[in-house]
Amino acid sequence: MEKENKKIKKAFKAAFPKTIPILTGFIFLGMAYGIYMNAFGFNFLYPMFMSLIIFGGSTQFVTVGLLMGTFDPVNAFVLTLMINARHLFYGISMLEKYRVPGIKRFFLIFGMCDETFSVNYAANIPEDIDKGWFMFFVTLLNYIYWALGSTLGGIFGGLVEFNTKGLEFVMTAMFVVIFTEQWLKEDNHSSFIIGLLVSVVCLVIFGSGNFIIPTMVLILLTLTLLRTILMKAGELK
Amino acid sequence: MTMTIPQHIIIILVVTASTMLTRFLPFILFPADKPTPEYVRYLGKVLPPAVLGMLVVYCLKDVNISTGSHGIPELIAIIVVVLLHLWKRQTLLSIIAGTLVYMLQVQFLF
């Protein structure tokens, strides 16, 4: 028991620093979301519970619009599916890493948002640290930051006056750093380039609202067609 | 607000179910106790770098090159992040510096 406690504490100490950029980003974005809902007359319980059960930034912003339109659950279902389709790719990427025992696995999958996925995917977890607990704490902390931010925003709504213009860039900066770090770590860069190129081309063609699905299809197609070449090039170790 | 509270609850639950479906589906289709097909394992290895590229573009999707600040603050901040990271390789330092550079630009320059 004593040993188990030590293991958990150690994993927490390793996980927390990795989540600091997300602490900043999620408190800020979460508050922005809470304030947004507050401005439309929603009680703070709305952003709080939505963050606790949905836990997805862009989805929750879109849901505010759905709640103010006409009652259409089918449309809500399909729209959410489209926005969140990228999670399918995260899942496929994490099939191996998320093989951890018990209820932890369930929570890891439940809490797999963009930020948690990138941190857990890219983290260099030292040998002496329990991987399951490490990823669990990254997921849990990010979850708490987001729920806390949106609840505070929902409660204090219009009271807050701040000049934090541009702070949302912390998320972009984090993804750029993770991208750069992974680029340095891997020898073959074709998949990085495919991802960037296909996304930019689709963004230009389909526009910011509709480009994710075509991008995913095209990435899948390209990687499938290049399978023999990429495997020869040593992408697969 | 035109919808009733029970209708709100239904919409929120539908959105939750749909979101969770996208998160759980790969793990349901390819359970841990069964061998994953070769092709899916291949995807699991080559997808992440492409997904990271997609995420970076996703963050920048609403930047308009033809109007406003023409995406210059974003471009400069990203260059700062990448160069600083190549030089020092300190994750937090790169993120903080890039964010500050961006904030200073949008608050005082553009």
Both tokens of residue A19? Answer: 């989540």
Buried b (16+ CB within 10 A) or exposed e, A201-233: ebbeeeeeeebbebbbebbbebbeebbeebeee
Stated as kind and residue range, the H or E segment containing A125 is: none
- Claim to verify: residue B49 and residue B69 sit in the same structural domain: no
Burial class (CB in 10 A: 0-12, 13-18, 19+), A82: middle
Range of the domain at B82: 64-110
| For testing contact with chain B, the best of A53, A175, A211 (most B CBs within 10 A) | A175
Q: So where are chain A's domains? A: 2-162
Q: How far is B70 from chain A (nearest CA, A)?
A: 15
- Claim to verify: residue B71 and residue B84 sit in the same structural domain: yes
- Claim to verify: residue B28 and residue B77 sit in the same structural domain: no
Per-residue confidence (pLDDT) for residue A159, from 0 to 100 = 76
Per-residue confidence (pLDDT) for residue A237, from 0 to 100 = 47
- Cβ separation B11–A121 shorter than 8 A: no
- Claim to verify: residue B55 and residue B70 sit in the same structural domain: no
- Cβ separation A77–B14 shorter than 8 A: yes
Q: Using DSSP, state whether B97 is helix, strand or coil.
A: helix
Per-residue confidence (pLDDT) for residue B29, from 0 to 100 = 95
Q: How far is B67 from chain A (nearest CA, A)?
A: 15
- Claim to verify: residue B92 and residue B52 sit in the same structural domain: no
Q: How far is A180 from chain B (nearest CA, A)?
A: 7
Distances (CA, A) of A126 to A5, A14, A170, A213: 18, 9, 26, 36
Per-residue confidence (pLDDT) for residue B1, from 0 to 100 = 52
Last residue of a domain, one of B59, B78, B100: B59
- Claim to verify: residue B50 and residue B72 sit in the same structural domain: no
B110 touches chain A (CB under 8 A): no
A234 touches chain B (CB under 8 A): no
Closest CA to A87 of A69, A108, A62: A108
Among the partner-chain residues A50, A114, A208, the one whose CB lies closest to the CB of B55 is A114
- Claim to verify: residue B53 and residue B83 sit in the same structural domain: no
Measure CA A234 to chain center: 29
- Claim to verify: residue B28 and residue B78 sit in the same structural domain: no
- Residues, chain B, total? 110
pLDDT tens string A96-155: 999 998 899 999 999 999 999 999 999 989 999 999 999 999 999 999 999 999 999 999
- Residues, chain A, total? 237
- Cβ separation B24–A109 shorter than 8 A: yes
Sign of the C-alpha dihedral computed for residues A207, A212, A214 and A220 taken in this order:
positive
Last residue of a domain, one of B18, B44, B59: B59
- Output the tens digit of pLDDT for each of chain B's 110 residues: 578 999 999 999 999 999 999 999 999 999 988 888 999 989 888 988 998 899 899 889 989 888 888 999 999 999 999 999 999 988 888 988 999 999 999 999 88
- Claim to verify: residue B75 and residue B35 sit in the same structural domain: no
- Claim to verify: residue B47 and residue B76 sit in the same structural domain: no
User: What whole-number distance in Å separates Cα of residue A25 and Cα of residue A40?
Assistant: 23
Per-residue confidence (pLDDT) for residue A217, from 0 to 100 = 94
Parts of chain A with a pLDDT under 70: 160-164, 233-237
The domain tally of chain B equals: 2
B20 touches chain A (CB under 8 A): yes
Portion 122-161 of A in contact with B at CB < 8 A: none
Q: Which residue of B has its CA nearest to A76?
A: B15
Per the CB < 8 A criterion, the answer to whether B55 and B93 are in contact is no
